[in-house]
Structure 1
Amino acid sequence: MPRLNFTKKALDSLPVPADGKRANYTDTKVSGLELRVTSKGTKTFSCQRWVKASARPERITLGRYPNMTIEQARKQALHISGAIADGENPAEVRRQLKGEPTLNELFSDYLRRHSQLVKRSWREDERVFHKYVSPTFGGRKLSALNRRDFVALHATISRTAPIQANRVLALCSSLFGWAEDVGLWDSSNPAAGIKKNREKKRDRFLQPSELPRFFQALAAEPSDTVRDFFLACLLTGARRSNVLAMRWEELELTEGVWRIPDTKNGEPQLVTLPTQLVTVLNERRAHTTGAWVFPGTGKTGHFTEPRKGWERILTRAQALGIVKALAEVDSWSEQRIQDMTEKALFQPTDVIQGCAVALGKHDMTPEQFSLSDLRIHDLRRTLGSWQAKHGASLAIIGKSLNHKSVQATAIYARLDIDPVRDSVTRAVDNLLAAGGVTAPGDVVPFKKKSS
């Protein structure tokens, strides 16, 4: 049997045997480690050791190359050799290898026994794992994973999504940490201690000039659940997960208070409900049944995925920005402004594409009016910024947003350094007024414009 130093270059260049034939190679570094190559090009690692009790060699299949790396194969071969040398039955060694969970199986346990029980964001854990981790490592046995694998995974994701790469690494570290706590993992955490990408704290929030078209776009949203959900996010400053899971039993509309029993920082929270939002919630209460303020059709019973609605709103807002700009530079008539505004609300993509040439004549592009950099979480930041703008102290902002630390709230002080004067209600009144929605304190009639 040919012997060679198993390297990636060497294994990748091995010839494919003729039809019906197989070729076997042994590693010069680890005794007993073999690689079998079939006529179809399949390469499989195995470990062959002499067993005294049976007076014959035993072969144990390890995994296929390149899904199993050379380093992982060597590690398992050494483990098997040691176990057999200690007198373990090869059949028991096979059973242990077969019974060891894969990363996918470990994550299923983690999701069921931990994440779903203690994290409102467990669906995000599920999405992140299946999108970024499972395709690469999901089928591997836990013992076949090491720190180098997670360093490589983080580096790969970082090329296009550096912040997401950090989130993936944090999830993997949490997964192995939990596995260690419950006795499913007895080695060091392979995803812990890896250097993460530097994150710059976002200070994006809705600017005064953006508010009118944002509110217009929101009011035109055909789904009242989507529309009211985003309004609640903006006017309460609450986290998306809390607003999605809002229950009627948590609300005292006559007092204008929302009592959230469980939040991200582990403590209950009292949220002020501005009178404008109370009006919207009272209307929802009259037309919805069940426990959830924003009911859904999935397993949770409540609305869970607002992204598509968010994209619709931002697209409408972009189209409205284009119409406003062209109306000013080309001196459109009132009728044309009205017609194009209507089209921007209900056929926004047509407006964005159709106005590209007209914008170009004024050295403008459709992208200049895009709000695609605005995230749902920025609605929460928007309330904090308007509180700072109108004089609220860091303590008041932190209390309204349920921040545990002053550091978490300090970002809003950078947005505006006006003297400390006011609180959430004044911030909401002024925010809505800047958006052209209502005079402070009046009701907000968010209704879809009839066609």
Structure 2
Amino acid sequence: MAKLKFTKTALLALAPPEAGKRLAVYDTEIPKLAMRITAAGTRTFYVVKRAGASMAWVKLGTLPEMTVEQARAEAQKILGEFATGANPAAARRAIRGEPTFAEMLKQFLAEKKKRDGTPLGEKTKRDYLDLLRLYLETIKSRKLSHITKQDLKAIHSKASKKSAAQADKAMAVVSSVFNFAADLELFEGTNPASRIQKNPAPSRDRFAQSVELPHLFAAIGESSLADFFLLSLLTGARRSNVQAMAWRDLDLDTRIWRIGMTKNGTPQNVTLSPEAAAALVARKRTTGASPFVFPGEGKTGHLVEPKKAWAAILLRASLRRLLDHLEGLGKLTAEERQLADKQITEAPAAAEKRYRAIADALEIDPALYDMTDLRIHDLRRTLGSWQAKTGASMAIIGKSLNHKTHQATAIYARLDLDPVRQSVETATLAMLEAAGIKQPTEVVTLPAKRRAKKN
């Protein structure tokens, strides 16, 4: 009886037997794990165990579709069934009936409930399916018990080279699916995604600076979604909540916006500054019969994806900062600046190509003008940062932004909205002053030349 330590290299190196014969070799680590090799070169894993007067050969799978690690794991499961006196054929059939990862993910998306008892959102479902398509193709057709920690470490390592955050998220999804399967008693054993080392979390503290605010407000004012981005900034609310803002949840007399459920699973009362409330009063006249502040044409009935408009805003703001810098260096005349401003409004892509080329030729550091790294979520961070700059405590900022931490939750619960309101309003006034806008109790009039222009 031939024995060797099973590895993929060693098993593939074994020469097939002559026609009409089969070669059997046994693993030195799990002696009852065998491989049969046919004359055609097919390599199949088996568990070999005496059953009464005969030897039972329980087929596991073929190499390389089944790895050595998977074969050992399944062999131990089958041997465990033998040890309890179970019928090995029945055990084999049970494993064959186990769902694949893709099947289990599909059931997870259909049946999993959030902490508040509601189903997973459509965006969450799309995100999970994208992760499956982009990073988890190698395991989607495998039975759950065939997926090993080594498989997932390899996936995580490869995905991390493209996106550390997405790699970590993919592992979190896999872990959730295995826990869900275990709860339904469709999987037994250790979750292979548990305790996989996450990538170091990058610290992001980007927010709109004083020198950026005039250009940012001006570019927002030219957008067809100006009110959306203005209210995102002045409320500090999460993007998804602003997108789904409904008139029924707004009390403009007391300047309170009630969000029934936020991302962290709790409701929130958002205090509205006079500027935010005035913008909503003005917007009410333009939304018609829609129940949403920002109506949309899709099935949700509200705005869904503002990224294109945001990219256009950042491009215009960046280019105008660059023009200011070129003027300061004496590289643009007043007439050239006027023509450049017109081109940015009418043909921003061409303007970007032209003036970035000039900046590169002059070796101007993009950090002096480029704002395209500013994200929509950074508007939320901008309000919190300006609250901090104007003296608000961390507890006040946490309450106004609906942050939820174990350390601060009890403190938040004891706070009322008065100090939160004062902090938000102080930060709003400071931002408006930095942007050169001084109409704090009226509708914020953004310095827009062509506000109605579509992006």
Please say which of residues 327-336 and 97-106 is displaced more in the overlay: 327-336
Structure 1's 133 and 288: CA in aligned 2 closer, same or farther, altered over 3 A?
Answer: farther
Is the CA contact (8 Å cut-off) linking 2:109 and 2:120 kept in structure 1?
no
Aligned to 1:108: 106
Instruction: Provide the identity percentage.
Output: 38
Aligned to 1:275: 274
Aligned to 2:414: none
Is the CA contact (8 Å cut-off) linking 1:393 and 1:421 kept in structure 2?
no
Please say which of residues 235-244 and 273-282 is displaced more in the overlay: 273-282
Aligned to 1:256: 255
For 1:322 and 1:377, locate their aligned partners in 2 and report how far apart those are by CA, in whole Å: 24
2:61 is paired with a residue whose SS is: strand
For 1:82 and 1:55, locate their aligned partners in 2 and report how far apart those are by CA, in whole Å: 19
Aligned to 1:335: 335
For 2:423 and 2:276, locate their aligned partners in 1 and report how far apart those are by CA, in whole Å: 16
Give unmatched runs, 5+ long, in structure 1.
410-419
Structure 1's 25 and 255: CA in aligned 2 closer, same or farther, altered over 3 A?
Answer: farther
Higher relative contact order (CA 8 A, sep 6+): 2
Aligned to 2:412: none
Paired letter, 1:34: M
Aligned to 1:140: 142
TM-score by length of 1: 0.81
Paired letter, 2:144: L
1:250-295 residue CA offsets vs partner (Å, 9 max, x unmatched) = 1123332110111233322110122333343344443254433334
Is the CA contact (8 Å cut-off) linking 1:33 and 1:74 kept in structure 2?
no
Is the CA contact (8 Å cut-off) linking 1:259 and 1:270 kept in structure 2?
yes
Aligned to 1:28: 27
For 2:405 and 2:326, locate their aligned partners in 1 and report how far apart those are by CA, in whole Å: 45
Deviation at 1:239, TM superposition (A): 1.6
Structure 1's 64 and 261: CA in aligned 2 closer, same or farther, altered over 3 A?
Answer: farther
Deviation at 1:366, TM superposition (A): 4.8
Is the CA contact (8 Å cut-off) linking 1:4 and 1:25 kept in structure 2?
no
The equivalences for 1:109-188 within 5 A come to: 109-115=107-113, 117=118, 122-123=124-125, 125-126=127-128, 129-188=131-190
The equivalences for 1:197-212 within 5 A come to: 197-212=199-214
User: Does the alignment pair 1:427 with 2:435?
Assistant: no
Aligned to 2:264: 265
User: Does the alignment pair 1:242 with 2:241?
Assistant: yes
For 2:214 and 2:250, locate their aligned partners in 1 and report how far apart those are by CA, in whole Å: 29
Structure 1's 21 and 81: CA in aligned 2 closer, same or farther, altered over 3 A?
Answer: same
Paired letter, 1:83: E
Structure 1's 76 and 450: CA in aligned 2 closer, same or farther, altered over 3 A?
Answer: closer
Deviation at 1:424, TM superposition (A): 0.6
For 1:206 and 1:37, locate their aligned partners in 2 and report how far apart those are by CA, in whole Å: 68
For 1:170 and 1:358, locate their aligned partners in 2 and report how far apart those are by CA, in whole Å: 45
1:135 is paired with a residue whose SS is: coil
Aligned to 1:391: 391
Structure 1's 50 and 151: CA in aligned 2 closer, same or farther, altered over 3 A?
Answer: closer
For 2:39 and 2:223, locate their aligned partners in 1 and report how far apart those are by CA, in whole Å: 59
The equivalences for 1:304-343 within 5 A come to: 304-330=304-330, 332-343=332-343
The equivalences for 1:370-385 within 5 A come to: 370-385=370-385
For 1:352 and 1:216, locate their aligned partners in 2 and report how far apart those are by CA, in whole Å: 17
1:353-406 residue CA offsets vs partner (Å, 9 max, x unmatched) = 212342234321556532233222221110011112222233322221122349
Is the CA contact (8 Å cut-off) linking 1:5 and 1:28 kept in structure 2?
yes
For 1:46 and 1:403, locate their aligned partners in 2 and report how far apart those are by CA, in whole Å: 52
Deviation at 1:7, TM superposition (A): 1.3
For 2:25 and 2:307, locate their aligned partners in 1 and report how far apart those are by CA, in whole Å: 53
2:234 is paired with a residue whose SS is: helix
User: Does the alignment pair 1:359 with 2:370?
Assistant: no
1:34 is paired with a residue whose SS is: strand
Deviation at 1:211, TM superposition (A): 1.3
For 1:353 and 1:23, locate their aligned partners in 2 and report how far apart those are by CA, in whole Å: 68
Paired letter, 1:62: G
Structure 1's 367 and 403: CA in aligned 2 closer, same or farther, altered over 3 A?
Answer: closer
1:287 is paired with a residue whose SS is: coil
Please say which of residues 257-266 and 77-86 is displaced more in the overlay: 77-86
Give unmatched runs, 5+ long, in structure 2.
410-419
Aligned to 1:416: none
Which residue, 55, 70, 73 being the options, matches 1:72? Answer: 70
Deviation at 1:104, TM superposition (A): 1.7
For 1:88 and 1:336, locate their aligned partners in 2 and report how far apart those are by CA, in whole Å: 86
User: Does the alignment pair 1:350 with 2:355?
Assistant: no
Is the CA contact (8 Å cut-off) linking 2:259 and 2:267 kept in structure 1?
yes
The equivalences for 1:43-54 within 5 A come to: 45-47=44-46, 49=48, 52=51
Please say which of residues 126-135 and 269-278 is displaced more in the overlay: 126-135
